[in-house]
Amino acid sequence: MAVNLELTQEKFQELDDYVDALPETKGELIKVLHKAQNIFEYLPKEVQIHVAKKLKVSTAKVFGVVTFYSFFTMEPKGEYDINVCLGTACYVRGAEKIAEAFSKELGISVGETSADGKFSITGLRCIGACGLAPVVTIGEKTYGRLTADMVKDILKDYK
């Protein structure tokens, strides 16, 4: 697997160093979670508990923030993260069908990662490319005006 998901001591140390360098930790939970996700690639329980202790806030609060913002993820993303925009414009032009097609092809639901760690599907709110609706991004690449039957071909590039 290309992405290193191990929860190593070094990563926790890096996060602690970041927090210790903040002039004030109060009100910085979201910023710290961003950093944590950047370091660990995802936010498993262990990381959330660690952040809660470090910032002296309740774990419930950390979990509340992590589950509220779709940017944060408790599941490690795949090597190729398929971001399906589910914003209003994409939605009315059939984004749900596109998401379903990816799910069917890969055998995983939105929010999940394939067992080999290669693919994950993420549902996003508006990414600001409504003119291309329905739109999907994979890494740096953007695929616009999609139909469900195009999904198979797109995946060929990554398999």
Partner 1 sequence: MSDINIIVDDKKVSVPAGSTVLEAAKAVGINVPTLCHLDLHDTKMINQSASCRVCVVEIEGRGNLAPSCATPVVDGMVVKTNTIRVMEARKTVLELMVSDHPKDCLACAKAGDCELQDLTERCGLKGDSISGKTMSTYKKDYTPSLIRDMDKCVMCRRCETMCNKVQKVGALSGINRGFDAVISAAFELPMEDTVCTHCGQCVAVCPTGALTEHDHTWKVVEAIADPTKTVIVQTAPAVRVAIGEEFGHEPGTIYTNKMVTALRKIGFDYIFDTDFAADLTIMEEGTELLARLQNFLDGGEGASLPILTSCCPAWVNFVESQFPELIDIPSTAKSPQQMFGAIAKSYFAEQLKIDRKDLVVVSVMPCLAKKYEANRDEFKVDGDADVNWVISTRELADLIKKLNINPDELEESEFDKPLGVATGAGVIFGTTGGVIEAAVRTAYELRTGKNLPKIDFEELRGFDGIRVATVDMDGLPINIGIAHGLGNAKDLLTEMRDGNPRNIHAVEVMACPGGCIGGAGQPYHHGDSSILKARQKAIYEVDKSLPIRKSHENPAIVELYEKYLGKPCGHLSHELLHTTYNIKEKV
Interaction between residue 60 and partner 1 (CB under 8 A)? yes
Task: Note whether 35 binds partner 1 by CB under 8 A.
Answer: no
Token digits of residue 20: 């210790």
Contact 40, 7 (CB under 8 A): yes
Stretch in the footprint of partner 1 (CB under 8 A) among 60-68, 77-85, 91-99, 113-121: 60-68
Distance CA 95, CA 145 (A): 10
Q: Does 61 bind partner 1 (CB under 8 A)?
A: yes
Distance in Å, CB of 57 to partner 1, minimum: 8
Cβ atoms of 123 and 70 within 8 Å: the answer is yes
Q: Does 49 bind partner 1 (CB under 8 A)?
A: yes
Handedness of CA 146, 148, 152, 153 (dihedral sign): negative
Q: 67, 88, 109, 147: which one contacts partner 1 (CB under 8 A)?
A: 67
Determine if 64 is a binding residue for partner 1 (CB under 8 A).
yes
CB atoms within 10 A of CB 121: 24
Q: Which residues bind partner 1 (CB under 8 A)?
A: 45, 48-49, 52, 57-64, 67-68
